[in-house]
Amino acid sequence: MRIAFASEPAHPDRPNEDFIGATADAVVLLDGASIPPGVTTACSHSVRWYSHTLGSTLLAEITQHAGPLPQLLAQAIKHVTALHEATCDLTGGGSPSATVIMLRHTAGHLDWLVLGDSTLVLDTGTPDPIVICDDRLDQIAAPHRARLDSLPVGTPDHAEARREYAETLGKYRNRDGGFWVASTDPHAADHALTGTIPTNQVRAAALLTDGAADAVNRYHLTTWRQLLDVLAQDGPAELIRNVREAERSDPHGERWPRSKPHDDASVVYCGRAHKTG
């Protein structure tokens, strides 16, 4: 297997809150949920600290322990919570959170886990690949987006609406009937989507944070099939370039209403080695 990846922050001068980690047999991809200006939290740690600490812990877990992926994720969440529960108030619910994708290659099988709105695409050689994304956040968010989506990105009114929107969504986070992400509660791992597929049925796999999956979901630049072909032929950086180009063509979110002009975008592509020459 060949693993290629690319990750780009929303802005060159801001920290990238996505995390990618890989070994020869495992890949993890996390997307830290940005906290809009004005939203207060009793945790002193940054979103980047959270996604990178959880991501590296998760990679250590998946390398050192067998066992079901949700169990490894629960252990990693517990470990990271222990790192700051003595210094931060983690009971208020405002502490940093992240989506998680885990992919593990074992004898003859690929195990996968998806928690939150990052996307896993499995290329099984059919015209329509298998696309796995947890859409609970989208479903919860839809009725609360109207004001945000009606305002031009980059204006003070939009920023205010974004803060309100984030606070409203916070009430649904890691609750039954709401949506689930990695934060401080290890039980979130039980709410992840999981599966196993024989390795010989999978030609390639792509892992994308929502900032990159927007190429299909929001901007409709390609189909999932075409996206896999771009990744195989031109690599992950090319996909992110296409996403940025679309965003630059619509800086105020008139064509594609969104929370921010750009988002951190990360892509991992696991495929068979390219023939050269």
**Closer to Zn ion by Cβ: residue 16 or 53:** 53
Given 27, 28, 35, 43, the residue binding Zn ion (CB under 5 A): 43
Residue number with CB closer to Zn ion (90 or 120): 90
Q: Give me the 103-132 binding string for Zn ion, x by CB under 5 A, dash otherwise.
A: ------------------------------
Nearer to Zn ion, 19 or 224 (CB): 19
Angle between helices 47-64 and 69-84 (to 10 degrees): 140
- The CB-based long-range contact list for 174-178 (8 Å cut-off, 24+ gap) reads 174/93, 174/97, 178/136, 178/140
Task: Rank residues 43 and 208 by Cβ distance to Zn ion and give the closer one.
Answer: 43
Residue 90 vs 189, nearer CB to Zn ion: 90
- Residue 88 touching Zn ion (CB under 5 A): yes
Q: Residue 55's Cα: distance from chain center in Å?
A: 12
> Near Zn ion by CB under 5 A, which window of 77-85, 171-179, 194-202, 216-224?
77-85
CA atoms of 94 and 52, how far apart (whole Å) = 18
User: Which region among 44-52, 68-76, 205-213, 222-230 touches Zn ion (by CB under 5 A)?
Assistant: 44-52
Regarding 72 and contact with Zn ion (CB under 5 A), the answer is no
Q: Measured between alpha carbons, how far is 144 from 135 in angstroms, rounded to an integer?
A: 15
Alpha helices in 126-248 (DSSP H): 136-141, 146-150, 156-170, 210-217, 224-234, 236-248
Joined tokens for residue 118: 């990052």
45: contact with Zn ion by CB under 5 A:
yes
**Size of the residue set binding Zn ion (CB under 5 A):** 4
Copy the structure tokens of residue 18: 């996505």
Q: What's the token pair of residue 166?
A: 């984030």
* Strands (DSSP E) found in 2-142: 2-8, 18-22, 26-32, 98-106, 109-115, 119-123, 130-133
- Residue 84 binding Zn ion, by CB under 5 A: yes
79 is a site residue for Zn ion (CB under 5 A): no
Judged by beta carbon, residue 91 or residue 139, the one nearer Zn ion is: 91
Interface segment toward Zn ion; rule CB under 5 A; list 79-87, 104-112, 170-178, 245-253: 79-87
